Amino acid sequence: MIEKVRILFVCMGNICRSPTAEGVFTSLLQAEGLSEFFEVDSAGTHAYHEGEPPDSRAGSAAHKRGIDLGHQRARRVNLDDFESFDYIVAMDRSNLEDLAGLCAPEHQTKLRLFLEFASDLPETDVPDPYYGGPQGFERVLDLIELASRAMIAELRKQHRSIA
Protein backbone atom coordinates (compact mmCIF):
# COMPACT_ATOMS: atom_id res chain seq x y z
CA MET A 1 0.00 0.00 0.00
CA ILE A 2 1.27 3.44 -0.97
CA GLU A 3 1.71 5.99 1.78
CA LYS A 4 0.15 9.15 0.33
CA VAL A 5 1.54 12.63 0.76
CA ARG A 6 -1.33 14.73 2.12
CA ILE A 7 -1.56 18.40 1.12
CA LEU A 8 -4.05 21.03 2.29
CA PHE A 9 -4.26 24.36 0.44
CA VAL A 10 -5.64 27.23 2.53
CA CYS A 11 -6.98 30.71 1.84
CA MET A 12 -9.49 32.84 3.73
CA GLY A 13 -12.91 31.68 2.52
CA ASN A 14 -12.02 28.58 0.49
CA ILE A 15 -13.91 29.76 -2.60
CA CYS A 16 -11.23 31.33 -4.83
CA ARG A 17 -7.53 30.65 -4.30
CA SER A 18 -7.37 27.42 -2.32
CA PRO A 19 -9.95 25.51 -4.39
CA THR A 20 -8.13 26.74 -7.50
CA ALA A 21 -4.86 25.43 -6.05
CA GLU A 22 -6.50 22.10 -5.22
CA GLY A 23 -7.85 21.85 -8.77
CA VAL A 24 -4.64 22.88 -10.55
CA PHE A 25 -2.42 20.68 -8.36
CA THR A 26 -4.73 17.67 -8.82
CA SER A 27 -4.85 18.25 -12.58
CA LEU A 28 -1.06 18.38 -12.81
CA LEU A 29 -0.74 15.20 -10.72
CA GLN A 30 -3.14 13.44 -13.07
CA ALA A 31 -1.21 14.64 -16.14
CA GLU A 32 2.05 13.32 -14.65
CA GLY A 33 0.53 10.01 -13.51
CA LEU A 34 1.16 10.82 -9.84
CA SER A 35 -2.38 10.93 -8.42
CA GLU A 36 -1.99 7.68 -6.50
CA PHE A 37 0.81 9.21 -4.40
CA PHE A 38 -1.15 12.21 -3.14
CA GLU A 39 -4.27 13.28 -1.31
CA VAL A 40 -5.15 16.93 -1.95
CA ASP A 41 -7.78 19.10 -0.25
CA SER A 42 -8.48 22.76 0.46
CA ALA A 43 -9.98 24.77 3.31
CA GLY A 44 -10.39 28.31 4.58
CA THR A 45 -9.30 30.04 7.76
CA HIS A 46 -12.82 31.48 8.05
CA ALA A 47 -16.24 29.87 7.68
CA TYR A 48 -17.84 32.65 5.61
CA HIS A 49 -18.76 30.33 2.74
CA GLU A 50 -18.86 26.90 4.37
CA GLY A 51 -20.67 24.37 2.17
CA GLU A 52 -20.65 26.63 -0.89
CA PRO A 53 -19.04 25.78 -4.24
CA PRO A 54 -16.06 27.78 -5.48
CA ASP A 55 -16.70 31.31 -6.74
CA SER A 56 -18.20 31.10 -10.24
CA ARG A 57 -15.44 33.34 -11.63
CA ALA A 58 -12.76 31.00 -10.27
CA GLY A 59 -14.64 28.03 -11.70
CA SER A 60 -15.02 29.69 -15.09
CA ALA A 61 -11.35 30.68 -15.32
CA ALA A 62 -10.26 27.17 -14.31
CA HIS A 63 -12.71 25.56 -16.74
CA LYS A 64 -11.14 27.50 -19.62
CA ARG A 65 -7.90 25.69 -18.76
CA GLY A 66 -9.56 22.29 -18.52
CA ILE A 67 -9.76 22.21 -14.72
CA ASP A 68 -13.03 21.32 -12.98
CA LEU A 69 -13.68 22.82 -9.54
CA GLY A 70 -17.37 21.89 -9.50
CA HIS A 71 -17.16 19.02 -7.00
CA GLN A 72 -15.51 21.13 -4.30
CA ARG A 73 -17.33 22.70 -1.34
CA ALA A 74 -15.88 25.27 1.05
CA ARG A 75 -14.94 24.18 4.53
CA ARG A 76 -13.07 25.69 7.41
CA VAL A 77 -9.72 24.40 8.64
CA ASN A 78 -10.15 22.26 11.74
CA LEU A 79 -7.67 21.12 14.38
CA ASP A 80 -7.57 17.58 12.97
CA ASP A 81 -6.13 18.98 9.73
CA PHE A 82 -2.88 19.87 11.49
CA GLU A 83 -2.52 16.25 12.57
CA SER A 84 -3.56 14.53 9.36
CA PHE A 85 -1.93 16.62 6.60
CA ASP A 86 1.78 16.56 5.78
CA TYR A 87 1.79 20.01 4.17
CA ILE A 88 -0.55 22.88 4.99
CA VAL A 89 0.02 25.49 2.33
CA ALA A 90 -1.25 29.05 2.78
CA MET A 91 -1.99 31.34 -0.14
CA ASP A 92 -0.76 34.45 1.68
CA ARG A 93 1.02 35.65 4.81
CA SER A 94 -2.19 36.66 6.58
CA ASN A 95 -3.62 33.16 6.31
CA LEU A 96 -0.25 31.65 7.24
CA GLU A 97 -0.32 33.71 10.44
CA ASP A 98 -3.90 32.58 11.16
CA LEU A 99 -2.85 28.96 10.68
CA ALA A 100 0.21 29.40 12.90
CA GLY A 101 -2.05 30.73 15.65
CA LEU A 102 -4.25 27.61 15.48
CA CYS A 103 -1.51 25.05 15.00
CA ALA A 104 0.11 23.12 17.85
CA PRO A 105 3.89 23.63 18.12
CA GLU A 106 4.66 20.09 16.95
CA HIS A 107 2.94 20.72 13.61
CA GLN A 108 4.30 24.21 12.83
CA THR A 109 6.85 22.72 10.41
CA LYS A 110 3.97 21.59 8.16
CA LEU A 111 2.98 25.19 7.44
CA ARG A 112 4.29 26.74 4.22
CA LEU A 113 3.59 29.77 2.08
CA PHE A 114 2.61 28.48 -1.38
CA LEU A 115 4.70 30.83 -3.50
CA GLU A 116 7.83 29.86 -1.55
CA PHE A 117 7.91 26.81 -3.81
CA ALA A 118 8.28 29.07 -6.88
CA SER A 119 11.26 31.00 -5.58
CA ASP A 120 11.88 32.78 -8.88
CA LEU A 121 8.62 34.74 -8.59
CA PRO A 122 8.76 38.30 -7.24
CA GLU A 123 5.44 37.78 -5.40
CA THR A 124 5.24 36.15 -1.99
CA ASP A 125 1.43 36.02 -1.78
CA VAL A 126 -1.18 34.70 -4.19
CA PRO A 127 -3.41 37.81 -4.48
CA ASP A 128 -7.06 37.51 -3.54
CA PRO A 129 -9.05 38.03 -6.77
CA TYR A 130 -12.45 38.19 -5.05
CA TYR A 131 -13.02 41.95 -5.39
CA GLY A 132 -11.42 42.32 -8.81
CA GLY A 133 -12.20 41.42 -12.39
CA PRO A 134 -11.53 38.33 -14.53
CA GLN A 135 -7.87 39.22 -15.07
CA GLY A 136 -7.27 38.68 -11.35
CA PHE A 137 -8.48 35.09 -11.59
CA GLU A 138 -6.24 34.51 -14.61
CA ARG A 139 -3.22 35.87 -12.70
CA VAL A 140 -4.06 33.62 -9.74
CA LEU A 141 -4.18 30.61 -12.06
CA ASP A 142 -0.81 31.54 -13.56
CA LEU A 143 0.83 31.86 -10.13
CA ILE A 144 -0.77 28.68 -8.82
CA GLU A 145 0.32 26.68 -11.84
CA LEU A 146 3.94 27.84 -11.47
CA ALA A 147 3.97 27.13 -7.73
CA SER A 148 2.24 23.75 -8.21
CA ARG A 149 4.83 22.61 -10.75
CA ALA A 150 7.65 23.69 -8.45
CA MET A 151 6.02 22.03 -5.44
CA ILE A 152 5.57 18.74 -7.30
CA ALA A 153 9.23 18.82 -8.34
CA GLU A 154 10.31 19.48 -4.74
CA LEU A 155 8.07 16.75 -3.33
CA ARG A 156 9.44 14.23 -5.85
CA LYS A 157 12.93 14.95 -4.46
CA GLN A 158 11.84 14.81 -0.81
CA HIS A 159 9.70 11.69 -1.13
CA ARG A 160 11.68 9.12 -3.07
CA SER A 161 8.69 6.74 -3.12
CA ILE A 162 6.97 9.06 -5.64
CA ALA A 163 7.65 7.80 -9.16
The string over 126-158, giving b where at least 16 C-beta atoms fall within 10 Å of a residue's C-beta and e elsewhere, is bebbbeeeeebbebbbebbbbbbbbbbeebbee
For this structure, is 16 an active site residue? no
Which residue, among 30, 138, 41, 129, has the nearest Cα to 80 in the 3D structure?
41
For this structure, is 149 an active site residue? no
Please tell me the distance from the alpha carbon of residue 57 to that of residue 124, in angstroms, as a whole number: 23
- Please answer whether residues 55 and 16 qualify as being in contact, where contact means their C-beta atoms are separated by less than 8 angstroms: yes
Q: Which residue in the list 41, 55, 81, 128 is annotated as catalytic?
A: 128
For this structure, is 11 an active site residue? yes
Q: Which residue in the list 6, 16, 17, 57 is annotated as catalytic?
A: 17
Please tell me the distance from the alpha carbon of residue 107 to that of residue 79, in angstroms, as a whole number: 11
Active site residues: 11, 17, 128
